[in-house]
Amino acid sequence: MDFVEGEIIGFDKPYRWTSFDVVGKTRWLLCHRLGKKKLKVGHTGTLDPLATGVVVVCTGKKTKLIDQLQQHIKEYVATLQLGATTPSYDLEKPIDATYPTAHITRELVEQVIPTFLGEQWQVPPMFSAVKVDGKRAYELARKGKEVALKPKLLTIDEIEILRFDAETMQLEIRVVCSKGTYIRALARDIGERLHSGAHLIALRRTRVGDIRVEDCINFEQFQALIENETEDTK
């Protein structure tokens, strides 16, 4: 493999790592092993720190493909907790409100979930990387400032119920969607459409384009890979 000329690498991002952590660790490992001071490295789409799964990283000249690769569809498996919301729509912030759930049945869930298929207007979360007047929305949100974010048009190609537990009010879904879809915001919208509330308690990105999570590597495997590659070239 020629990381300077350019490679595309699928990583299974660990929990609580940012996408920038993945890029930084990749760059450090490659520069350290290849004896270089600089190397172009970038990712093709941000994944929240509390999510795991596919993060695609490009190196060298393949970074020119990042804009193209960012357009690829993405697949997620998400677990929602119904009946409660948080300001971040996930576990980053504590629960700020609870809602009735006695009316939520499997039948109601099966009626509501298909209504999210196709084109949707979605308001991004305040705790997101969307830019507002040159600043990230999450920076403003963490300072207690509220900003009205504009809705964005996106497409949900597939959405299905994987599991619904009426006792715990937890709902697991699989979603195939376009670039720019916030699954946290989708959780919020599902809760509202169920006449209740909801937030994410688990999220895993299982596919980006043709790169599936089962084909991705972790950083121990990546370190072993580059050590073998560089040994072979000595």
Residues serving a catalytic function are: 48
Only one residue has tokens 């994987």, namely 162
Hey, what are 83's tokens? 């009946």
Measure the CA–CA gap between 4 and 178, rounded to whole angstroms. 30
Q: Which amino acid is at 231?
A: E
Measure the CA–CA gap between 75 and 87, rounded to whole angstroms. 24
Measure the CA–CA gap between 207 and 181, rounded to whole angstroms. 14
Measure the CA–CA gap between 169 and 106, rounded to whole angstroms. 10
Hey, what are 182's tokens? 């916030």
Measure the CA–CA gap between 99 and 184, rounded to whole angstroms. 18
Q: Where are the alpha helices (DSSP H) in 103-158?
A: 106-112, 137-142
- Phi first, then psi, for residue 134 (nearest 5°) are 85, 0
Measure the CA–CA gap between 29 and 76, rounded to whole angstroms. 28
